[in-house]
Amino acid sequence: MAEYTHQIGSHLGQLGGYYDTVGSIATNVANGFTMVAVGDLIVSRPLTRYEHPGFSDIVKILRDADVTFGNMETLIFDIRKFKGSPEAEHGGAYHVSVPELGPDLKTMGFNIVGRANNHTLDWGLEGMRETSRVLDESGIVHAGAGENLAQAGAARFLETARGRAALVSLATSFAPMSRACDSAGEAPGRPGLNALRLAKSIVVPPEMLESLRQVRDALPDHKAGETDSSRVMVDGTTYKIGNKVGYSYEADPRDVADILRNVRRGKQFSDFCIVTNHCHNPGNWSQEPADYEQSLAHKLIDAGADAYIGHGPHLLRGIEIFKGRPVFYSLGNFFYDDLRTPVGADMFEAYGRDPRVDTDAEVTVDEEAKGYPTAEGFVGALAAPVYYESVIAVSCFEHNQLAKLRLYPVELGYSKRFANRGIPQLVTGSQANDILERLQKLSDPFGTQIAIENDVGVIRLSPTSP
């Protein structure tokens, strides 16, 4: 990794004055530039045709920005004409929407979306490609999926009145078979998503590690000579020494180097570069980011990113300001309008349902209540109010610096019936305070101060903020 870091440093030096005093490529947007960022777009239908209570207030915020970003976590196609099929290996559910969603997202104000996530290939390459076609025809820029790794990892560009924006989309949570790769000799490249592979280990205190070492040594297939005192591998699982039991992750250095290059290239061709990461780790239960993520976000900003936007665990995580750039570790769900149909035969089987008797909606409700099936059982259940609360983050820039962040709390109708929940509505009073106070606590470890003013969270930065 040191070699890659040296190469990056040499490139920074070659471009000289194009970089600012903190070593990153300088933001270069016109005064008043604004970026709206939200989390997961889990939506199955066009929404602007019906007057959902309070939704017009949401749309106004989305439309007023120069760049409006969301994580595209559904596939778009017409099932009556679809030539593909649901994959045996999916991202926990078969997300699907109708072709009208593309133009509707554009009408709402979305003009740039991330595509790399655990649902990118739920419906195979046909679903991925048809979604790309609909987004292209709708005039929505998208990144993170492509016909090979070079395409999936490349920055995509959006022209705005106040500057050219770039987006690099990656995922650390993904179905293994969805990872794109480049060609090698006569072997062609593989379509899929831009993946950042993580090596997972379990952290345990010294006495537990010693017990695990004894277990390993007693196994009949143990190979003598493994002498690392700080870690033990038992049946494919790595345990390493630490003070507190938990999970730890190490990012693949080759993937990191490739992503940093794509970020550097993205910023060289734009005025404002966004990097977005789909990361469920360590799990949907955690309101804290995985231990690798802060270091990665900092490296991405040093390589040229003007904003880091995380999503995946379906709930809010903290906000950091690093070198004057916003770092959102998770913006939760923005849409959870999960009226997906069809859901695929594998989903019926996983929840003990019969497609001749039970309905798609009943399967989806089971999935939300129990989570998705794994070898260890069901994990990732989302049947709690916290998964229906999030914020709209509006970043405002003046003189090429982040001047202010406004955080609008929203709620997605947790208490409503299945067919009506999942659509955001601005909240006020005690509910707004509860959401924003939770975000205050989650952001405090990063040194971020969030004021609450008239039911809106506000982060102000001085012109000289580091």
Q: Which of 339, 384, 361, 317 is nearest to 42 (CA)?
A: 339
Q: Domain ranges in the chain?
A: 2-183+253-340+384-460, 206-241
Q: Write phi, then psi, for 320 (nearest 5 degrees).
A: -125, 150
CATH topology of domain 2-183+253-340+384-460: Purple Acid Phosphatase; chain A, domain 2 (3.60.21)
Q: Which residues pair with 392 in a beta bridge?
A: 408
pTM of the model: 0.93
Q: Which residues pair with 333 in a beta bridge?
A: 40
For residue 221, what pLDDT is reported? 86
DSSP state letters, 146-160: ESSHHHHHS-EEEEE
**Does the bond joining 342 to the residue before it have cis omega, within 30 degrees of 0?**
yes
**Distances in Å between the alpha carbon of 454 and those of 169, 371, 407, 432?**
34, 36, 11, 9
Q: Which of 251, 255, 252, 312 is nearest to 278 (CA)?
A: 312
Q: Write phi, then psi, for 363 (nearest 5 degrees).
A: -65, -45
Q: Which residues pair with 409 in a beta bridge?
A: 391
Q: For the chain of 466 residues, list the mean pLDDT of each consecutive stretch of 10.
A: 46 46 71 98 96 96 98 98 95 96 98 98 98 98 98 98 98 96 98 98 96 93 80 94 96 98 98 98 97 98 98 98 98 96 94 96 94 85 95 97 98 95 97 98 98 98 65
Tokens of 13: 């030096």
Q: Which residues pair with 317 in a beta bridge?
A: none
Q: Which of 18, 21, 29, 25 is nearest to 303 (CA)?
A: 25
